[in-house]
Every structure is written in C-alpha cells, then in structure tokens.
C-alpha cells in the first residue's frame, strides 16, 4: 500500500494517521512517498498527484485522494 503525500499538507497528516491505524489493524505494510522528493515508479509524481495529495494506492490501483475513508481502505485490504 502506498500513500503519496507532500510536506506541509494537513490532509496528508490526517491520511497518514488513518492509513497507519487501518494498516496496523490489518497487519499490512505501507509506504509513504513524498511526491516532491521521490519521482517514484514512472516518474513525475508531482504532475500526476500534485493537486490530489494525499493519494492512496493499493496493489497499483488508486483508492482515493484528499480524504482517506478508513472503512473503504479496510475493505480493500481485506481482499
């Protein structure tokens, strides 16, 4: 599971807490990528996610952006 963020983003702070809680409860590993620092797979994360952070991706599929729905994320991780 990936969480795309950027420094100084209050929504990213909120999303980080939700992701940490949900992934912790599910026993799932997750990784945070700062789009301003890491170009990530395929490059140009700022161009792709700049207006949408935080963005949650599970198994390569974008699950949401701006606000992370804990229940939806938990259901997706349970699959």
Lookup: tokens for 60? 């390569």
pLDDT of 18 over the 70 cut: yes
Q: What share of the chain is helix, strand, coil (3-state, %, to 5)?
A: 40, 20, 40
pLDDT of 31 over the 90 cut: yes
- We report the CATH number of the domain holding residue 52 as 3.40.30.10
What is the pLDDT at residue 39? 73
Q: Strand pairing partners for 45?
A: none
Strand, helix or coil at 63?
Answer: strand
**Mean pLDDT, all residues of the chain:** 92
Total structural domains in the chain? 1
Contact 14, 42 (CB under 8 A): no
pTM for the model stands at 0.91
Domain of 26, in residue numbers: 2-78
């Amino acid at each position: 599971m990936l969480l795309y963020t950027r420094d100084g983003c209050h929504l990213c702070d909120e999303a980080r807490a939700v992701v940490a809680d949900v992934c912790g409860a599910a026993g799932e590993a997750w990784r945070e990528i700062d789009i301003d620092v890491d170009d990530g797979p395929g490059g140009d994360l700022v161009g792709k996610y700049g207006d949408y952070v935080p963005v949650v991706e599970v198994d390569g599929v974008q699950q949401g952006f701006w606000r992370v729905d804990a229940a939806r994320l938990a259901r997706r991780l349970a699959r």
